[in-house]
Structure 1
Amino acid sequence: MNDVRDSQADDTYDVIVLGAGPVGQNVADHARAGGLTVAVVERELVGGECSYWACVPSKALLRPVIAVADARRVDGARQAVTGRLDTDRVFARRDHYVTDWDDSGQAAFLKDIGAGLVRGQGRLDGPRRVTVTAEGAAPRTLTARHAVAIATGSDPVLPDIPGIGGARPWTNRQGTDSSTVPARLAIVGGGGVGVEMATLWQGLGSRVTLIARHPLLPRMEAFAGELVADGLTRAGADVRIGVQATAVRRPDPAGPVTLTLDDGSEVVADEVMFATGRAPRTGDIGLDTVGLAPGSWLDVDTTCLVRGVEGDWLYALGDVNHRALLTHQGKYQGRTAGDAIVARAARRPLDDAPWGDHATTADQHAVPQVFFTDPEAAAVGLSADEATRAGHRVRTVDVDFTAAQGANLFADHYQGRARMVVDLDRDILLGVTFAGPGVSELLHSATIAVAGEVPLKRLRHAVACFPTVSEVWLFLLTAYERG
């Protein structure tokens, strides 16, 4: 264990980071690169939710499911798929990528960059002070010369419905760390976690019932959720949209669970998973000692400095600021805020104008998100509705992927759709959405176009290779030019 007492006997540092997930690691790395001393406090595993119960294990589990689905879309390869997935090997693959829930490698990374690791629950204790408590150890008080950065993430929210306390429901943690395939699995929630878990467990052999109050993936263009719903249905899942659970009962802890829905129907399953939102993990970190409400989302400026706290020392990064509950966006915030902390500590001017070195401008304009369903759904920037509500004068352009020869070669009878949202006054893209097999690898090109505000007259000169799925860009731009 890398203990900060080894190098900082007085427990005073330039920067203290609460949370050693990817977001906390990024702010620590950039602060250290700028010459500041850093202590990172972690109550669980170094690497956080993403590394052990979210992004990494879910994608490790989903990849075999999608790989088999991709093979079945290609004649010649389809005939070679003669059996079911080897679930033991799939779970072993997951265990490999989460390093068997051993965080020593990520703890070593902190040591390598020169940051100290303090194990325990960190709580603010007034301005620039953090008290750390750990079982079997005396409390320690750390002091920050320049900044405290909160990167503690979020927790799943369970709905307040009768019977949920005794139902032993799954959340994302059980959904990614279970090594037993339930014969029947009910999933409540149609957002990203819900649809990915439905894809995963249906592919592993569960009979999945997905229950969603709203259309799937409601923050994307509607066609993305519709194509994902169609894909789940074709895979054998029972997709129920427009209903919600009103009660749950499990009289025998080892027996089945029954969900009552508001349309009067019931769903019986061996396990039930709720993917119904997240809450900030800020209820027990001492926010009240600096005048903030415990358990609240934290409002931040463009450098991720928390508003309402005097002295320009408290930062909030990742899920806790509620800007975009996505690991990659939190890491971006961590890099940007780490550099801002260094600049403030050195009393250098901040470059916090839009798209500046110390501004998280992409949080408002170019957030990319991908869901590894079958088909995949990927988007960046604003949807057409969001752009219109924001006051932009826009035009949408839709193209079916079958227009691209590369898509047809990628998968026989390829089914997918793309949309770009054009700002008519500036001739740039405000948003792009793709839905179809393999579209996750198209998203970064769209992100560059949106973040870079590339004029469409210039974008047409970015020639897509033939025959690739990315040829869809040619057909989108041609459709726009021809009106």
Structure 2
Amino acid sequence: MAEHEFDLVVIGGGPTGENVADRAVAGGLSVALVEAGLVGGECSYWACIPSKTLLRPAAALGQAKAVQGSAQAVTGVIDARAVLRRRDEMVAGFDDSGQADWLKGAGVTLVRGRGRITAPRIVEATGPDGATVTLTARLAVAVCTGSVPVLPPIPGLAQAQPWTNREATAAESVPDSLVVVGGGVVACELAWAWRSLGARVHQLVRGPRLLAGNEPFAGELVAAALREAGVDLRMETETVEVSRVPGGERTVRFTTGGRSESVTAAELLMATGRRPATDGLGLEALGLGTAALADVDDDCRVRGVAGGWLYSVGDVNGRAALTHMGKYQARAVGDTIAARSRGEAAEPRPWTRWAATADHRAVPQVIFTEPEVAAVGLTEHAAREAGLRVRAVEYDLGSVSGATLFDPGYRGRAKMVVDEDRQVVVGATLVGPGVGELIHAATVAVVGEVPLERLWHAVPSFPTVSEVWLRLLETYGR
């Protein structure tokens, strides 16, 4: 059993772990990163990168077809095999040597194996060959293990061998047909992706609307577009049983409106949520339960651990399960650990690099359906639930001059939520083609708590879709 000592040991080599390690090394620390799978993690190989690669061709084709001139130049349909080849290129053929080389160049020691905490500041990494390396952290251990899919206890589901996001983004061919169970981001994006590539898609949603955490109009517009694209979308369903002929199609039985129905397809994607990946971390050796990793302060340090040496960063702490927010937390954590090693930043100060405070009420997200959904901060409902006195205004994005130039038939909507007492924007939602590139303006306004009186002087260029910000302010009134 080999032993090694470092200032910081990071468990998990996805984007979050990589960024913690990189920032800590930049701060002068020695760092070991333990990863059992591919360096780069879920986002690089089975989530953000491949899913958006699968989605992009349909969006590009739709935009080309929307405008006279370019529409006449479109003479074919999407080449699914070419799309899958590009997906393979974007995930580097599921080869992480490039990311491993990046870690080496950054000065991070990569340890291949599954990390387990066996005592305070002690991590054992068990490699594929069963050999174990003991790593001692002089300063801190950062758990960055991400999240894993949740599969509900539905009779017959395990035997049916369903897809999760991993199989759905890594598939080598387009299935003839697909049942998607779920109404969240993964379900909607992958229903879009595979429908655009030619699969017949059925989508079963448990609740009354899609994308339930967003403004209601977001789910309504996406649902309408999915149906227009040919997706068989069923709302308020309860999946009760799954069956499969050996080597054959999957049949999903569900209830809706008191009736029992079923659909059959070549593949079944279960997109029914995710949970923090805490299995096998050895938290019991510290007297902690798995939920302890969700109890962190604003520098992602786990509360109740003597000496404050344990950090929980990214999806695993459940604060904001998005790649960009995990990387945001990671930068703060890496800087914090390095600063504390120098006797600086005994406690994080709000709105400095030593505190991850924006993952409370200023989280941006883009959902790459068609139309796109982009949002930041609080919905109107969430703001009122938080006790804020708010006023919300909406505007038809299709009425903005820049949107008409983008697409003569542009359909979309924008909403701005204002805290009436402070006169600042606390939330914004946009739905429409290409709106993902607009949301950062709202993010700056929400995070910076820019007063509305100042926002009047942030003049949007004409003719762009960004002119919607002026229209929202005009709708709100002086």
Q: What is the TM-score normalised by the length of structure 2?
A: 0.97
Counting aligned pairs with the same residue, the percent is 54
Aligned residue in 1 for 2:416: 420
- Whole-angstrom distance in 1 between the partners of 2:75 and 2:239: 38
Distance 1:52 1:296, change over 3 A: farther
Does the alignment pair 1:56 with 2:52?
no
What residue number does 1:45 align with?
38
Q: CA deviation at 1:137?
A: 4.7
Confirm whether residue 310 of structure 1 aligns to residue 303 of structure 2.
no
Task: Give the superposition deviation at 1:294.
Answer: 4.0
Q: Which residues of 2 match residues 309-388 of structure 1 at below 5 A?
A: 309-350=305-346, 352-388=348-384
Counterpart in the other structure of 1:478: 474
Calculate the aligned-residue CA RMSD, in Å. 1.4
2:221 is the alignment partner of 1:227? yes
Distance 1:355 1:211 in 2: 42
Aligned to 2:87: 94
Partner residue of 1:260? Answer: 253
Contact map agreement 1:283 1:295 (CA 8 A) in 2: no
Q: Deviations over 1:249-288 (max 9, x none)?
A: 0022x21111111221111111010000112111111111
- Contact in 1 for aligned 2:81/2:173 (Cα 8 Å): no
Is 1:180 aligned with 2:173? yes
What letter matches 2:94 in structure 1? Answer: W
The question of 1:280 aligning with 2:279 is answered no
- Residue 357 of structure 1, CA deviation: 2.2
Q: Could you tell me which of 63, 66, 78 is aligned with 1:85?
A: 78
Shift of 1:180: 1.1
State the shift of 1:81 in Å: 2.6
2:105 corresponds to 1:121: no
**Which of 425, 431, 453 is the equivalent residue of 1:435?**
431
Which residue of 1 is the match for residue 235 of structure 2? 241
User: 1:344 aligns to what SS in structure 2?
Assistant: helix
Q: 1:138 Cα deviation (Å)?
A: 2.3
Report the residue type matching 1:438 in the other structure.
G
Q: Any unmatched runs of 5+ in structure 2?
A: none
> In structure 2, what is the Cα distance between the partners aligned to 1:193 and 1:43?
24
Number of residues paired by the alignment?
474
2:102 maps to 1:106: no
Counterpart-to-counterpart distance in 2, 1:470 and 1:412: 16
* Structure 2 residue 451 is matched with structure 1 residue 455: yes
* Aligned pairs (5 A) from 1:196-215: 196-214=189-207, 215=209
Q: Deviations over 1:79-128 (max 9, x none)?
A: 33332211111011111110001101110111111110000111001100
Match of 1:465 in 2: 461
Q: Structure 2: how far apart are the matches of 1:459 and 1:359?
A: 26
**Distance apart, 1:192 and its partner CA:** 0.5
How far off its partner does 1:334 sit? Answer: 0.2
The SS at the match of 1:94 is helix
Give distance in 2, aligned partners of 1:351 and 1:57: 39
Query: Is 1:284–1:295's contact at 8 Å kept on the other side of the alignment?
Result: no
Check if 1:146 corresponds to 2:148.
Answer: no
CA distance in 1 between counterparts of 2:461 and 2:158 reads 55
Correspondence for 1:28 among 14, 21, 28: 21
Rounded Cα–Cα distance in structure 1 between residues aligned with 2:74 and 2:153: 44
Is the 1:351–1:357 contact (alpha carbons within 8 Å) kept by the matching residues of 2? no
Deviation at 1:62, TM superposition (A): 0.9
Are the equivalent residues in 2 in contact too, given 1:161–1:246 (CA < 8 A)?
Answer: yes
Shift of 1:10: 5.1
> Any idea what the Cα deviations from partners look like across 1:22-69, whole Å, max 9, x if unmatched?
100110011001100000000000000000000011111111121112
- Paired residue type of 1:466: F
3-state SS of 2:360 partner: helix
> C-alpha distance in 2, partners of 1:362/1:462?
22
How far, CA to CA, are the matches of 2:197 and 2:380 in structure 1? 35
1:350/1:358 contact within 8 Å kept: no
**Aligned counterparts of 1:404 and 1:138: Cα–Cα separation in 2:** 62
- For the residue of structure 1 that corresponds to 2:119, the secondary structure is coil
Return 5+ residue gaps in structure 1 as ranges: none
For residue 344 of structure 2, give the secondary structure of its aligned residue in structure 1. coil
* Separation in 2, partners of 1:82, 1:106: 39
Aligned partners of 2:294 and 2:319 also within 8 Å: no
CA distance in 1, matches of 2:130, 2:156: 38
Answer yes or no: is the 8 Å Cα contact 2:240–2:255 preserved in 1: yes
Distance 1:165 1:296, change over 3 A: farther
What residue identity is the alignment partner of 1:38? V
> Residues 390 and 419 of structure 2 are in contact (CA less than 8 Å); yes or no, is this contact kept in structure 1?
yes
Q: Which moved more, 1:205-214 or 1:372-381?
A: 205-214
Q: Any conservation in 1 of the 2:12–2:145 contact (CA below 8 Å)?
A: yes
User: Over residues 210-265 of structure 1, what are the superposed CA-to-partner deviations in whole Å (9 max), with x where a residue is unaligned?
Assistant: 1111211111101011111111111111111111211100022x211111112211
Paired AA for residue 66 in structure 1: A
User: Following TM superposition, by how much is the alpha carbon of 1:403 offset from its aligned partner in structure 2, in angstroms?
Assistant: 2.3
- Is the partner of 1:429 in helix, strand or coil? strand
The change in CA–CA distance for 1:273 and 1:125 in structure 2 (over 3 A counts) is same
Q: Which amino acid aligns with 1:370?
A: V
- In the alignment, the residues of structure 1 paired with residue 311 and residue 101 of structure 2 have an alpha-carbon distance, to the nearest angstrom, of 25
Contact 1:167 1:250 in 2 (8 A): yes
Structure 1 moving runs of 4+ over 6 Å? none
Q: Report which stretch shifted further, 348-357 or 456-465.
A: 348-357
